[in-house]
Amino acid sequence: MVIGRPCSACWATLSANRAVYISRRSTLRQFSTSSFSRSHENPLGIPVRNPNPAPTLPRRGGPPLKSRIRGVKRVVVVASGKGGVGKSTVAANLALSLVQTSSLPHPPRIGLLDLDIFGPSVPKLMGLENVGDPQLSAENKLIPLQNHGIKTMSIGYLLPPNPAHDSPVVWRGMMVMKAVQQLLFDVDWTTSNEDLDVLVIDMPPGTGDVQLSLGQLVAVDGAVVVSTPQDVALVDARKGVGMFNKVSIPIIGLLLNMSHFTCSTCSTPHYLFGSATSFEKAANDLHLPILGKLSRYQYQFQVLSFNGLVGKVPLVPSVSDGGDAGRPVMVQNDLQGQEVRQVMGEVGREVWDWLGHRPISEAGTRG
């Protein structure tokens, strides 16, 4: 059979589609931290594109109407009232746990967004400190950087190059809020036009502007609140729960980090930061489930009883060393971190179960 040239109308359509395809490929380009001007309206220096619509306000005032992030099905935030409790490490390992424990019929698409403007940790934790600037899509949206099967975005990728990785962000509140909106809505999370199944957001500590902006602008499916056993950390964790309640973000559960230390010569747990009694009381007072207990150092692997909790995870050197090397404990296979992986895997399954019992928000998308 001889196939002739298409008719003029079909040929015009094919040529137009080919031109669009070539145009899209040619417009994918590298973002440069020095090429684009920064301002109060554009603190990240992203080239101007069709602007996102302003958050919609109800007729009689009140907070903006929440939106879903374009290209994202579910949003889970990892937060803490107090800094230094291991929240970013938990967020990175939770994202990896969601990949490993998914029962979806397709390979899970998981993202990790770092919303800590002043102290971004995701680039180091995920081994992406020296990979260069992210690319820009044809729509001038940031393309996430990927490692360990997780798509990530952080302001740490957008700071001027610095061998010591210590470039500070010295911004006032309005620029911070605009940068948060850009990280939320100016990132292209899709893969071959497929949305992310879950976006894990690593929040900064406290209950300030970033948390309030996220709670007012984004339809969040649930929050994991991380704390250590000390009362000084639990006080702020309670404040974090109260803040999420005020902005109508449901709490998936509390996670206890650095619960105990097991030395190499005995099997007795040492509660270096206090017992878990205060934490368990706080969870009971707040009517929230305990997702796990993460402890600090352990030099020999030992199976501990769960005592009615999801688990007690020792704080092991491989958690800290692996994070510094860009290899979170969930992608390691050493015996030392086995119990950590076991409990974080259980936490991942609990988060999937939580999401499976909640309908996807019907809010409109933005981005």
* pLDDT tens per residue, range 93-126: 999 999 999 999 999 999 999 999 999 999 999 9
Q: Considering its fold, how many domains does the chain have in total?
A: 1
Domain-located, residue 364:
no
Domain-located, residue 10:
no
Q: Band the pLDDT of 201: cuts 50, 70, 90.
A: very high
Give me the pLDDT at residue 77, please: 98
Phi, psi of 347 (to 5 degrees): -65, -45
Give me the pLDDT at residue 1, please: 38
Mean pLDDT of the chain: 82
The whole-angstrom separation of Cα 142 and Cα 209 is 23
- Cα 127 from chain centroid? 15
Give me the pLDDT at residue 54, please: 55
Q: Is the pLDDT of residue 303 over 50?
A: no
Are β-strands 251-256 and 261-262 bridged in parallel, bridged antiparallel, or unpaired? unpaired
Q: How far is CA 157 from CA 129, 136, 170, 203, 295, in A?
A: 7, 13, 16, 17, 30
Domain-located, residue 29:
no
Q: How far is CA 190 from CA 81, 94, 194, in A?
A: 31, 20, 5
The whole-angstrom separation of Cα 149 and Cα 215 is 27
Mean pLDDT over residues 342-354, rounded?
A: 92
Domain-located, residue 216:
yes
Domain-located, residue 15:
no
Domain-located, residue 363:
no
Give me the pLDDT at residue 56, please: 54
Domain-located, residue 139:
yes
CATH code (residue 197): 3.40.50.300
What amino acid occupies position 63?
P
The whole-angstrom separation of Cα 340 and Cα 343 is 5
Phi, psi of 58 (to 5 degrees): -60, 160
pTM: 0.83
Give me the pLDDT at residue 27, please: 52
DSSP category for residue 265: S
Sign of the CA dihedral with 87 first, then 92, 98, and 101 last? negative
Domain-located, residue 30:
no
Contacts with 140 (C-beta within 8 Å, 6 or more apart), sequence order:
46, 47, 48, 49, 186
Q: Is the pLDDT of residue 25 over 60?
A: no
Q: What percentage of the chain reaches a pLDDT higher than 70?
A: 78
- Looking from the CA of 30 toward its CB, the CA atoms found within 13 Å total 7
Give whichever of 58-62, 143-147, 169-173, 272-276 has the largest mean pLDDT. 143-147
Contacts with 272 (C-beta within 8 Å, 6 or more apart), sequence order:
258, 260, 261, 296
Residue given tokens 């974080």 in the structure block: 344
Contacts with 126 (C-beta within 8 Å, 6 or more apart), sequence order:
92, 112, 147, 148, 150, 152, 326, 328
Give me the pLDDT at residue 101, please: 96
Domain range spanning residue 149?
68-358
Q: Band the pLDDT of 352: cuts 50, 70, 90.
A: very high
Q: Is the pLDDT of residue 219 over 90?
A: yes
Both tokens assigned to 4: 């002739």
Mean pLDDT over residues 232-254, rounded?
A: 94
Q: Is the pLDDT of residue 272 over 60?
A: yes
Contact 315/229 with Cβ under 8 angstroms?
no
Give whichever of 85-89, 294-298, 342-346 has the largest mean pLDDT. 85-89
Q: How far is CA 201 from CA 174, 218, 363, in A?
A: 21, 11, 19
- Cα 5 from chain centroid? 52
Q: Is the pLDDT of residue 132 over 60?
A: yes
Higher pLDDT, 306 or 15: 15
Q: Band the pLDDT of 55: cuts 50, 70, 90.
A: low
Q: Is the pLDDT of residue 312 over 70?
A: no
Q: Is the pLDDT of residue 351 over 60?
A: yes
What pLDDT, in 10s, does the model give residues 159-172? Answer: 887 777 788 888 88
What pLDDT, in 10s, does the model give residues 174-184? Answer: 888 999 999 99
H or E element: which one contains 18?
helix 8-27
Q: What is the DSSP string of 55-78?
A: PPPPTT--SPPPBEETTBS-EEEE
Higher pLDDT, 55 or 191: 191
